Amino acid sequence: MIDFYLNGRRQQCADVSPDTSVLELLRLRLGQTGTKEGCASGDCGACTVAIGEPDGRGNLSYHSANACIMPAHQLKGRHLVTVEGLARGDALHPAQAAMVDCHASQCGFCTPGIVMSLFTLHQGQRQHPAPLTQQRLESALGGNLCRCTGYRPIRDAALCMADYPDTHPLWADDPDLAGNVEALDRDATTIPARSSPGKAVGHFDSPTDIATLRELRKERPGSRLVAGATDLWLETTQQLKPLEDLIDVRQVAELTTIDETPAGFWIGAAVTFSRLEPLFAEHYPAFAHLMHRFASAQIRNRATLGGNVANASPIGDTPPVLLALDARLQLDGPGGPREIAIADFFLDYRKTALKEGEFLRALFLPRLDNDRQLKVWKLSKRREDDISAVLGAFAWRLEDGKMRDVHLAFGGMAAIPKRAAQAEAALEGQAPGQPAFTTALAALYREFQPLSDVRGSREYRLLAAGNLLERLRLCLDTDHEPHAEVCLDAYAH
């Protein structure tokens, strides 16, 4: 049974198979067809909806999400808002009124998704008013594609929404809504979300503590773990594979905490990127900068750091950064917890050190102290919402003018995210000048044999990785003037 609220009304949907998406539930079961399907892979944003979650202070906090790749069972204890739920009778919500007045819609297919992204932006502005900078606009709309209107009028609509009367949807009048949703959320912590036997096939369990998660993993070794589903769900929408036995890690208390220690931060595997943004901004600015280039707001609101690492894609964005930082991983499972270095986690293409029944519990990020520096540069065909062709993450410190503890990690250059051991050795203990970097570059070309694919040829990848190393030299080489020239590029940090 999925017990949730849709546009202010309680919904109880029984016999929903585990691999049903929110979009399918809306369109096929509930007859709510305002939310559109474009790509069914999280790329176009046509299916954008808003998810209201209890914020622990008696309110609901809304974020955008792609309904096409969100498991319907994850709606339990949430308030789902769709484009049908924004107007108050004939009075349009400011997001809708501004889109109409700015002529920001033509064929209209992308419009419901864009309106929902503007709705969450508007909600955010209402709770925490702040200037609508270019960066915030890009972040709010970067996950929505429009093929006929052009973005200028859509941007205008975003900028002028605040000038409209603040028409609230009717459901916003209900003083009990947040409490009612929260009560369902509490229920969700004690009742496993399991499909009725004999009706729908399979399981969708949402354990809330690590002991239950361990037990479920032991009981059902063939089950799949799901967190934000932003990778996993593509197996059903793109490859049409069934996902019949799922265990959701997003409610497991131990996987959702962030613990600060003098040495660094233990981050629960199910913490989303959106939640990590403030921590990255304060302690790892280069990592925070990467987040602007990581997928879209819809994806970052749901995708987890643990999912990115466990997915073990050679072009995942965070593994090279974690390799450069010497992160540690806490794995857990039937045999209890164990800790390993991230460098020992990736074994071969999509193969990890996780044993049967194990899961990723938390990740440890050491602090950047003792003048340790971090640079992260991502190259992709498109700036917004695109996967890397090559990503370089570089960490080092300077001691008496020499580079120490040099870590050069790359994504997109091998079957696994990998450090360039020979290039690192060429820089270790050297002054950051042309001679050391020339040797490092030659070593880099020797130690990687990247593949050619749609994102880049072997030659492009080698050249690009070498150029990232050269960019690092230009940032560090005191003979090079002016330093700023290297960093002026919009993508650099």
Ligand X SMILES: Cc1cc2nc3c(=O)[nH]c(=O)nc-3n(C[C@H](O)[C@H](O)[C@H](O)COP(=O)(O)OP(=O)(O)OC[C@H]3O[C@@H](n4cnc5c(N)ncnc54)[C@H](O)[C@@H]3O)c2cc1C
Question: Which residue, 73 or 418, is less far from ligand FES as judged by CB?
Answer: 73
Q: How far is the CB of 106 from ligand FES (least distance, A)?
A: 4
Among 13, 16, 46, 354, binds ligand FES (CB under 6 A): 46
For position 26 contacting ligand FES by CB under 6 A, the verdict is no
Question: Which residue, 106 or 125, is less far from ligand FES as judged by CB?
Answer: 106
What's the DSSP call for residue 21? B
For position 439 contacting ligand FES by CB under 6 A, the verdict is no
For position 25 contacting ligand FES by CB under 6 A, the verdict is no
Instruction: Name the residue number minimizing CB distance to ligand X.
Output: 307
Interaction mask 140-159, ligand FES, x per CB under 6 A:
------xxxx----------
| Binding window for ligand FES (CB under 6 A); candidates: 93-101, 108-116, 130-138, 198-206 | 108-116
Selection from ligand FES, ligand X, none that 269 binds (CB < 5 to 8 A by kind) is ligand X
For position 11 contacting ligand FES by CB under 6 A, the verdict is no
Side chain identity at residue 267, one-letter code: I
Peptide bond before residue 482 is cis, with ω within 30 degrees of 0: yes
Task: List residues near ligand X by CB under 6 A.
Answer: 41-43, 224-232, 249, 269, 294-295, 299, 303-304, 306-308, 310-311, 316-317, 359-360, 385, 387
Whole-number Cα distances in Å, 189 to 59, 229, 258: 19, 20, 20
Question: Which residue, 66 or 388, is less far from ligand FES as judged by CB?
Answer: 66
Selection from ligand X, ligand FES, none that 105 binds (CB < 5 to 8 A by kind) is ligand FES
Selection from ligand FES, ligand X, none that 317 binds (CB < 5 to 8 A by kind) is ligand X
320 and 391 Cβ atoms separated by less than 8 Å: yes
C-alpha 128/C-alpha 253 separation (Å) is 27
Give the burial class of 211: count Cβ atoms within 10 A of its Cβ; 0-12 exposed, 13-18 middle, 19 or more buried: exposed
**Close Cβ partners of 362 (under 8 Å, ≥ 6 residues apart):** 254, 255, 266, 267, 268, 269, 306, 329, 330
Side chain identity at residue 201, one-letter code: V
**Close Cβ partners of 282 (under 8 Å, ≥ 6 residues apart):** none
Among 429, 426, 419, 425, CA closest to 391: 419
Contacts with ligand FES by CB under 6 A lie at 37-40, 42-47, 66, 68, 105-111, 146-149
